[in-house]
Amino acid sequence: MTKRSFFISLLWFFIPIVLLGILVEGLTRNIPTSYTYIAPYLDDHTESIEVVLLGSSQMKDAINAKMLSLPAVNLASGNQHHDTDFALLKQLLPKLPNVHTVVLEVSYSHFELPHNGPDFWKHAYPLLYYNVNAYQRTTYFKDELLFFANPPIMIERLNNYYNSHEDPAGFNDVGFDTLNYAGKFKRLKYDEEAITRSDRFKIYKIPNKDLFDHNVAHFLEMIDYLQKQNIQVVVFQAPMYTSYLPQRHPDILRRRDSVLREQIRQNNLLLFSIEEDTLNFEVTDFWNESHLNPSGAKKATALLDQFLQQY
């Protein structure tokens, strides 16, 4: 076989693979996510946004930024931790000159869960949609490829969106999913007895003082960064269902609350906690034990809005 025929054979081998990769990536990017709606909203409202919210899925599902009185954007995302929050802040705030308030989630276990780190697969999303590098290194073309960031999860999403249609989304123009009801509680028909019997749910219950010290130091650095820019920091704690509250580890809870009390005293930090609010929130407001559905988000957003208007 000549060199020329060898290279032609290689081309015929690799071209279909490349084309398949391009097709799969295109199909993946076509799946609606909060990022696909938030990105153009950011571009169109750089001069008007006054409030930025950050956090994990608990924040993402609890606050519909469209319902806040002040122009706001909710940049929270599933499993997003403070190191990713900080990267978003440092790279986006210079483009948002009128932001005066940042709302940060500090959930029950935030200080004792590992940060996302430089290899977190979801970093591909803010890089692609916001041009925010959370990888903590020089990025390359492959870092923006969504499918190859986590193929098993993306295959599941592709199947759901193009085939089974089991979990339809209904994003508004600020990236809030207005149809996000299809969780554990809906499957159990909001039956409180059935929910209580189904006592398995995700909650972190292993204290880690070393991780706590590391995460708190990073949190305080983020607070200092924001305060040097004269930005008011509000700490947000989303509602938890009644069966979740007694399962929290007392040491994890005590350490978190101790840090926040000290920061409120020293640094003018504001705390808006509805974590233990069992009066305003009922079973039909929850997606599962630790996340609200859109009905619950309507209540939580209204309460946060009242709080923000005081300042």
Domain annotation for the chain: domains and CATH numbers: 42-118+167-309 (3.40.50.1110)
Radius of gyration of the chain (CA): 21
Query: What tens digit of pLDDT does each residue of 98-152 get?
Result: 999 999 999 999 999 999 999 999 999 999 999 999 999 999 999 999 999 999 9
For residue 279, the one-letter residue type is L
Sequence-separated (6 or more) residues with CB below 8 Å from residue 263: 220, 223, 235, 269
Query: What tens digit of pLDDT does each residue of 90-113 get?
Result: 999 999 999 999 999 999 999 999
When pLDDT is cut at 50, 70 and 90, the band that residue 21 belongs to is confident
- Return the pLDDT at 267: 86
For residue 165, the one-letter residue type is H
Mean pLDDT, residues 297-301: 98
Q: Would you call 177 helix, strand, or coil by DSSP?
A: strand
Least confident stretch, 44-48, 98-102, 160-164 = 160-164
Are 97 and 226 in contact by the 8 Å Cβ rule? The answer is no
For residue 289, the one-letter residue type is E
For the chain, what percent of residues have pLDDT higher than 90?
A: 86
Are 44 and 71 in contact by the 8 Å Cβ rule? The answer is no
Strand 101-105 versus strand 232-237 pairing type: parallel
Average pLDDT, the chain: 94
Closest by CA to 306, choosing from 268, 276, 280, 269, is 280
DSSP 276: T
Query: What tens digit of pLDDT does each residue of 258-278 get?
Result: 999 999 999 889 999 999 999
Query: What tens digit of pLDDT does each residue of 213-257 get?
Result: 999 999 999 999 999 999 999 999 999 999 999 999 999 999 999
pLDDT at 2 over 80: no
| Half-sphere exposure of residue 289: CA atoms within 13 angstroms, side-chain side | 18
Mean pLDDT, residues 51-75: 98
For residue 67, the one-letter residue type is M
**Residues facing residue 269 across a β-bridge:** none
Burial of 266 (0-12, 13-18, 19+ CB in 10 A): exposed
